[in-house]
Amino acid sequence: MLNEPIVVAPLNPIQYTRIVEAALIEDLGRAGDLTTDAIVDADIRVETAIAARTAGRVAGLDVALHAFTSLSDAFVISIHRDDGSDVAAGTILARISGPARPLLSAERTALNFLGRLCGIATATRNIVALVADIGAKIICTRKTTPGLRVLEKYAVRVGGGLNHRFGLDDAMLIKDNHIAAAGGLRIAVERAQARLGHLVKIQVEVDTLAQLEELLTLRVDAVLLDNMSVEDMTQAVHMVDRRMIIEASGGITATSARAIAETGVDVISVGWLTHSVASLNVGLDFLGPSPGA
């Protein structure tokens, strides 16, 4: 049974217009669509449908449709399933009618965006469901495709997850290499605190319970437990005793997520949601000549 659609504030076109247009330029290159321009008459109009080939959650439909409308303002588009909808295989997501040439030229770019973002939303939805009754939140990371971060983090939200930092300027996250370069955990935290703006939070990554014990003598907002065992995470939650937000990170899978959530951590960060998730299979189907063609 399909879930009720999740409602997430849509992206503003200014957030994806240049991304989509850059992808179109990459595909069209210096000479345009040689195949389509050679064999399809300029006055041919067609009716098509974007459909899900496999079941999943819809995300990025507006982004995909922008690929078409960037090449022509003559398309008539009707959306059948909004972002956040769970759909079965074969579901029509949108219908597009209009000139065949720009439609064919934009097809692959549109489907690349849509498949990628639907895949992220679907994978996020699935892992969120595994821990929903426990209360731990699933979040993404900065392990995103270069240039697509705003889109991929949007897809995570559509999947029911939350976002970690969008960039290095969001908050201070002191990781193991920062600690090594600074000369120790305490000095790294103290230097961060000396430069801290009043709205900026500090999170520190720890690998061991001994590091956590040292961190608890300092003033920070959150701790990241990196690649700890479930047993050590459970002990860490007891040690922190709600004094800061606890994030679990490192090698987390759909198989291990529930056991990690049961330790009592607040958030679970999952890098593969954006760096190696499988795209959803979506396609563009020709339905026939466009009415009035």
- 108 in active site: yes
As beta bridge partners, residue 99 has 45
- 190 in active site: no
Of residues 226, 222, 268, the one with CA closest to residue 245: 222
- 175 in active site: yes
DSSP 213-261: HHHTTS--SEEEEES--HHHHHHHHHHHTTSSEEEEESS--TTTHHHHH
Tokens 């590091």, located at residue: 211
**Residue of 21, 53, 95, 143 with catalytic role:** 143
**Residue of 108, 186, 201, 258 with catalytic role:** 108
Angstrom distance (rounded) from CA 278 to CA 229: 27
Of residues 287, 291, 290, 289, the one with CA closest to residue 49: 287
Q: Provide the phi-psi class of 214: left if phi over 0, else alpha when psi is between -120 and 50, else beta.
A: alpha
Secondary structure (3-state) at 86: strand
**Residue of 86, 226, 247, 266 with catalytic role:** 226
- 153 in active site: no
Residues near 127 by beta carbon (within 8 Å), at least 6 away in sequence: 138, 161, 254, 257, 270, 273
Secondary structure in 3-state letters for 169-213: CCCEEECHHHHHHHCCHHHHHHHHHHCCCCCCCEEEEECCHHHHH
**Residue of 53, 95, 165, 175 with catalytic role:** 175
Handedness of CA 203, 206, 211, 212 (dihedral sign): positive
**Residue of 33, 107, 205, 266 with catalytic role:** 205
Which of the residues are catalytic? 108, 143, 175, 205, 226
